[in-house]
Structure 1
Amino acid sequence: MTTAPPVRHVGFRTLPDALWHRGERQPDRTAYVFLKDGEDATESLTYGELHEAACRRATTLSAAGLTGRNAVLMYPSGLEFVRTLLGCMYGRVAGAPVQPPRRRAEVERLRRIADDAGTSTVLTTTDVIRDLRERFADLPALDGLDLVATDDPGALHTGDPGTPERLPDPQDIALLQYTSGSTGHPKGVMVSHANFLANVVETDELWPCEPRGTVVNWLPLFHDMGMLFGVVLPLWAGIPSYLMAPESFIRRPARWLEALSRFGGTHSAAPSFAYELCVRAAESGMTAGVGDLSSWRVAVNGAEPVRWSVVRAFTDTFAPHGFDPMAMCPAYGLAENTLKATGTRADREPMVLWLSAEALREGRAQPVGERTDSAVPAVGSGRDVAGTHVRIVDPVTRQPRTPGHVGEIWISGPCVADGYWGRPAASEDTFRARVADDPDDATPHLRTGDLGFLHDGDLYVTGRMKDVIIRRGRNHYPQDIELSAERAVPGLQPNCAAAFSLDDGERERLVVVVEAGGRVLGALGADGLRERVREAVRTEQRITPDDIVVVRRGKLPKTSSGKVQRRACRSLYQDGELTRLVPSGREA
């Protein structure tokens, strides 16, 4: 393997173009390295090896009659996912990445996604198939699914790996990215090859990969942020990517920082809670092995609300390790826009506005002094670049909102996906919205369902429309309530609370679910924790929860990237399936 200078990416029309080019011109250059347990570089791929592996898988898929069709990709984090993803792209098969099921409900979700994608083919590994059959063989959801182990040489085309008859066109579907919601019917976002290329071009313009770029990624690869930063961007830019499994990070967060230091990582992305876990690890003396972080110039912070306290704590904690405060880059994106929509450039520190909480509840972003009573911080998510444009629109009238007023975030540009697979009506409503009473703007926009405002050109995200809790005509944002609950008692973990509302037919009720570990429960008991949370929310948010449910740690529904799933939690609450702790600390 070699570290020769990268071949520039001028002229690439698709990601398969980039791999074909690099496989021919840079066959011995390192493309991806997998870190076992987040530490040991046990497996790697050069561009030449990846090109051959992708060709072999493409030939196999073509022989199975899958060209032009869909297939589910069910892989743990690792290099086999990368081989098969690129094999699908070479073979013009649209892959639908999913997480290998850990629970029975996730098997049902797998089946719903396969049915929605119109396929019975599930590409995966030998170990995953064995685990599925040992744990879930009795589930009817697996009936009729064709599980294919692409890491089994016997399942692949033998002999010459062959070459694809033709590479995909930019407008062909590259991926079906299913949204992370866990209830109802999953929706597959149709991401084209052109979408992927537009998004990485914009990402590179915002956070340049040169000089000497290196990615370190622990996010799950089936997740949009993990895939783009861990797989797509490095391949397009021709820079190495060091991958580890999410559980390696969760078990010991310092592994992420150690890998960045060890391999000279320049680009890495994570949600806010990951940066907070690193701060807590440092406070517990668990980051002694973290070395020099001065090479880390782009620390993307997104996928959930960015907390100013975490930004400050992380930059202060790791400044002695050479971490540059300007490397912290809050950003905003979503699968329907391929990923990135806005981001903070790495040549300035993150922006924060202190706002009047009262005005914010009324839909106005009114800046106040940091020490003003009821002042709340809002962290900027940066600006759009290149062809992407962000507007703030009244979600009811569809008229533009003026700067400083909260509305729905609408996006237009080349990164907006084609729509939802097999859902023309939903696609028309979500991906092709038009601003009312604006004859000069006939551009179709993506309705994100997120709320925010613009200030001096920067986007500030305030919450999701469906999650906003309205009480007496005022908006209360669930993430603010959750933060108050999380901080009510020392020892509670990041992302340990879910706040949502329910209409009982007479009024809207506020429910807060909090998960706690044995140490907190041993010190306070379930009742004591409930009272602390109730008082914190009432005092800080001026709203009193109608019900506070305490559950054991690990019982709160979350996505694979660690985000709390409010709607899934609400469904469990409504169905009586949340196992709440009674005063004795036992489950009831």
Structure 2
Amino acid sequence: MPTDLDRVRTGDEALPLPELLRLRARLRPDDTAYVFLHNGEDPQDHLTYAELDAAADVRAGLLTARGLGGRRAVLMYPSGLEFVRTLLGCMRAKVAAAPVQAPRRLKDVERIRRVARDAGTTTVLTETSVLRELEDRFGDLEDLLGLTVLDTDALAVAEAGAAAAAVPDSAPGLDDIALLQYTSGSTGDPKGVIVTHANFLANAAETDALWPCAPEGTVVNWLPLFHDMGMLFGVVMPLWAGIPSYLMAPAAFIRRPARWLEAIARFRGTHAAAPSFAYELCAREAAEGRTGQVGDLSSWRVAANGAEPVRWHVIREFTEAFAPHGFAPRAMCPGYGLAENTLKATGGDQEREPTSVWLSGAALREGRVETVGVGEPGAVPITSSGRTVPGTEVRIVDPGTSRACAPDTIGEIWISGPCVAAGYWGRPEATEETFRARVRNADGSLEDERTYLRTGDIGFLHAGELHVAGRLKDLIIHQGRNYYPQDIELTAEGSAEGLHPNCAAAFAVEDLGKERFVIVVEADGRAVRAHGTQGLRERIARAIHEHHRLRFDAVVLVRRGAIPKTSSGKVQRRACRTLYENGDLPDLAAPSAVRP
């Protein structure tokens, strides 16, 4: 006979996450829910379902007693268990939480203020260690004036009794806001994606349909929890599936990527997700002989790879590097998603090795999909991001006419289904433009009344599977041909030793009415010593011209870490372009025109 939890898992009973936690705490109180690995290694902190349920009650009571029930609050936590306790407490009190990165730099503090203003709140929730650091480093900044910062861990101890009495009686509904997921763009004001409890449940169910979480499953996650991928894989999916989640701070992974793999081997992880650059870092660690303690990875069934686009050579390099450790090629599961769809939209079959389509680079620049043989001169591999599941539909649409494209034709990716978020908080015009698109027939009439999410990404469907080509706004168009910046950046990164993966940004700028092409590349001391700044710029420009027949007007060399990136490590080309145009890039040498 199916249990209550079985009915939740099969979708026969839909419970918002705090109510699902309540059910798990009643039926499986002592099972491990979350574990935090200090320094990425030591499992010192853990929560059972009963402990988490009680902690969420206390925090829900604290918020309710302060009159925040049904309102909004910014969550400013490092990766750790207090974030999980407070997030579930917010959901229980019907507080729409807006997670942000705990501040490390001035721009992080400025972003917190902008997010709070956009969300219409003056309340920031954090933990004591962050509050003290915030006061010590940034307490006199104008950006913090008017904000009330509460340390929930200290308050939970000091006011536990009173908080318990204030726990709301009514549970949140499926259409209530579970989260305001703020996009990671760095230009302009941030936009909060309205994620409902129904969105979370639908995305967890769809993810499980593609990449099933068996009862013995385990998640190992280093992604920041305020980010959409870290939120879904690190917090939501494990709670929905009823499997433990081992969490570590992103910095622990960045300092030594092998820690992530060691934790997967040690705790027999079955599910772990990361952008493409993380797998590339791990493959490089292996090539340099720094992964000797990784151990057995045979338990890893789903290595979700969610960068856009997923790099084919990274898949091959990672698979080959860790096959001796038991990593199965079919475990690599490329996928595609975005915050506006809660997260996942498509994913590769976990029972099949990843695939790619090799295309003519010349045809691709003209917006055509023309398949060629593997490795042919000028060929470009585009990795498959897999399929949807029933209920979600992906269409490829001409962004100018809103007409559906034929198979094997490049266009904008549009999505419809239960995972599409409700819109942007407080932005009706942007919501209408992005979340309410409709496909049109050849005569301009509406195909039907179904609405779609316009993703801003471009790609094509081949053999029923989605292949992502890049961002519509990042596309470089020259003499009627399309150039995809990620392909140019990959060429630049491979042009000399001392250049690193995910360390370049290619874009076009306007200069006195003329379009100029610029590439910014991070270089370490080894590359500069080997070639000199001028020689290194020439090598990069020559490689780009040889591979893409495109001449760049400026090659700018910067120090490591200078290129702006999102919280998950994706290069922010438009933000980099703004820095370049404002003269704010820390050049290793004054930029100049470089001709191959």
Whether 2:545 is the aligned partner of 1:541: answer no
Report the AA paired with residue 26 of structure 2. E
The corresponding residue for 1:424 is: 428
Alpha carbons 2:215, 2:242 under 8 Å: kept: no
The corresponding residue for 2:411 is: 407
The corresponding residue for 1:14 is: 16
1:275-331 CA distances to partner (integer Å, 9 max, x unpaired)? Answer: 111111111111111111111000000133211111011111111111110000000
The corresponding residue for 2:31 is: 29
Whether 2:581 is the aligned partner of 1:568: answer no
| C-alpha separation in 2, matches of 1:19 and 1:154 | 19
Q: How far is the alpha carbon of 1:129 from its aligned partner? A: 1.3
| C-alpha separation in 2, matches of 1:314 and 1:40 | 26
Residue identity over aligned pairs, in percent, reads 64
Match of 1:315 among 319, 328, 348: 319
Report the AA paired with residue 280 of structure 2. E
Structure 1 runs not aligned, ≥5 long = none
Whether 2:108 is the aligned partner of 1:101: answer no
| C-alpha separation in 1, matches of 2:70 and 2:465 | 41
| C-alpha separation in 1, matches of 2:552 and 2:373 | 29
Q: How far is the alpha carbon of 1:153 from its aligned partner? A: 3.6
| C-alpha separation in 1, matches of 2:153 and 2:222 | 22
Q: How far is the alpha carbon of 1:151 from its aligned partner? A: 1.2
The corresponding residue for 1:46 is: 48
Match of 1:224 among 217, 221, 228: 228
The corresponding residue for 2:475 is: 468
Report the AA paired with residue 336 of structure 1. E
The corresponding residue for 1:580 is: 587
| C-alpha separation in 1, matches of 2:430 and 2:158 | 38
Worse-superposed segment, 159-168 or 454-463: 159-168
Match of 2:177 among 173, 176, 182: 173
Whether 2:497 is the aligned partner of 1:490: answer yes
Report the AA paired with residue 68 of structure 1. G
SS at match of 1:435: coil
Report the AA paired with residue 390 of structure 1. V
1:226-280 CA distances to partner (integer Å, 9 max, x unpaired)? Answer: 0100000000100000000001011111101100000000000001111111111
The corresponding residue for 1:324 is: 328
SS at match of 1:115: helix
SS at match of 2:153: coil
Query: Residues 81-96 of structure 1 correspond to what in structure 2 (within 5 A)?
Result: 81-96=83-98
| C-alpha separation in 2, matches of 1:380 and 1:158 | 51
SS at match of 2:381: strand
TM-score, with structure 1 as normaliser: 0.97
| C-alpha separation in 2, matches of 1:561 and 1:457 | 28
The corresponding residue for 1:451 is: 458
Worse-superposed segment, 22-31 or 524-533: 524-533
Whether 2:389 is the aligned partner of 1:385: answer yes
1:41-75 CA distances to partner (integer Å, 9 max, x unpaired)? Answer: 01000000000000000000001111111000010
| C-alpha separation in 1, matches of 2:262 and 2:156 | 38
Alpha carbons 1:527, 1:583 under 8 Å: kept: no
The corresponding residue for 2:116 is: 114
| C-alpha separation in 2, matches of 1:149 and 1:6 | 35
Q: How far is the alpha carbon of 1:102 from its aligned partner? A: 1.4
| C-alpha separation in 1, matches of 2:510 and 2:382 | 29
CA RMSD of aligned residues (A): 1.5
Alpha carbons 1:57, 1:156 under 8 Å: kept: no
SS at match of 1:279: helix
Alpha carbons 2:32, 2:46 under 8 Å: kept: yes
SS at match of 2:117: helix
Whether 2:443 is the aligned partner of 1:441: answer no
| C-alpha separation in 1, matches of 2:260 and 2:104 | 24
SS at match of 1:493: strand
Query: Residues 278-293 of structure 1 correspond to what in structure 2 (within 5 A)?
Result: 278-293=282-297
Structure 2 runs not aligned, ≥5 long = 592-596
Q: How far is the alpha carbon of 1:164 from its aligned partner? A: 2.6
Q: How far is the alpha carbon of 1:441 from its aligned partner? A: 2.7
| C-alpha separation in 2, matches of 1:155 and 1:469 | 55
Corresponding residue pairs, total? 580
SS at match of 1:540: helix
SS at match of 2:450: coil
Whether 2:214 is the aligned partner of 1:210: answer yes
Q: How far is the alpha carbon of 1:154 from its aligned partner? A: 6.2
| C-alpha separation in 1, matches of 2:191 and 2:559 | 31
SS at match of 2:160: coil
1:113-157 CA distances to partner (integer Å, 9 max, x unpaired)? Answer: 100000000001111111112222232000011010011146763
Whether 2:485 is the aligned partner of 1:478: answer yes
The corresponding residue for 2:251 is: 247
Report the AA paired with residue 369 of structure 1. G
Q: How far is the alpha carbon of 1:583 from its aligned partner? A: 7.3
| C-alpha separation in 2, matches of 1:184 and 1:424 | 17
Q: How far is the alpha carbon of 1:337 from its aligned partner? A: 0.2
Alpha carbons 2:387, 2:466 under 8 Å: kept: yes
1:191-245 CA distances to partner (integer Å, 9 max, x unpaired)? Answer: 0000000000000001000141100000000000001000000001000000000
Alpha carbons 1:60, 1:156 under 8 Å: kept: no
Whether 2:380 is the aligned partner of 1:376: answer yes
Give the direction of change, closer, same or farther, for the CA distance of 1:583–1:188 in structure 2 (3 Å limit). Answer: closer
Worse-superposed segment, 193-202 or 528-537: 528-537
1:150-206 CA distances to partner (integer Å, 9 max, x unpaired)? Answer: 111467632273443111000001100000001111100000000000000000001
Give the direction of change, closer, same or farther, for the CA distance of 1:427–1:155 in structure 2 (3 Å limit). Answer: farther
Report the AA paired with residue 459 of structure 1. L
| C-alpha separation in 1, matches of 2:466 and 2:512 | 36
The corresponding residue for 2:305 is: 301
| C-alpha separation in 1, matches of 2:455 and 2:57 | 37
SS at match of 2:304: strand
Match of 2:149 among 133, 147, 163: 147
Whether 2:525 is the aligned partner of 1:518: answer yes
Report the AA paired with residue 472 of structure 2. M
Alpha carbons 2:498, 2:525 under 8 Å: kept: no
Q: How far is the alpha carbon of 1:507 from its aligned partner? A: 2.1
Alpha carbons 1:57, 1:157 under 8 Å: kept: no
Query: Residues 495-506 of structure 1 correspond to what in structure 2 (within 5 A)?
Result: 495-506=502-513
The corresponding residue for 1:72 is: 74
| C-alpha separation in 2, matches of 1:423 and 1:495 | 32
TM-score, with structure 2 as normaliser: 0.95
Worse-superposed segment, 215-224 or 500-509: 500-509
| C-alpha separation in 1, matches of 2:519 and 2:529 | 21
| C-alpha separation in 2, matches of 1:117 and 1:195 | 19
Worse-superposed segment, 528-537 or 399-408: 528-537
Report the AA paired with residue 464 of structure 1. R
Worse-superposed segment, 470-479 or 503-512: 503-512
| C-alpha separation in 1, matches of 2:508 and 2:572 | 14
| C-alpha separation in 2, matches of 1:531 and 1:129 | 48
Q: How far is the alpha carbon of 1:579 from its aligned partner? A: 1.4
Give the direction of change, closer, same or farther, for the CA distance of 1:439–1:398 in structure 2 (3 Å limit). Answer: closer
| C-alpha separation in 1, matches of 2:568 and 2:344 | 16
Alpha carbons 1:215, 1:229 under 8 Å: kept: yes
Alpha carbons 1:96, 1:178 under 8 Å: kept: yes
Report the AA paired with residue 490 of structure 1. E
| C-alpha separation in 2, matches of 1:440 and 1:481 | 37
Q: How far is the alpha carbon of 1:77 from its aligned partner? A: 0.4
Q: How far is the alpha carbon of 1:506 from its aligned partner? A: 2.3
SS at match of 1:151: helix
Whether 2:345 is the aligned partner of 1:341: answer yes
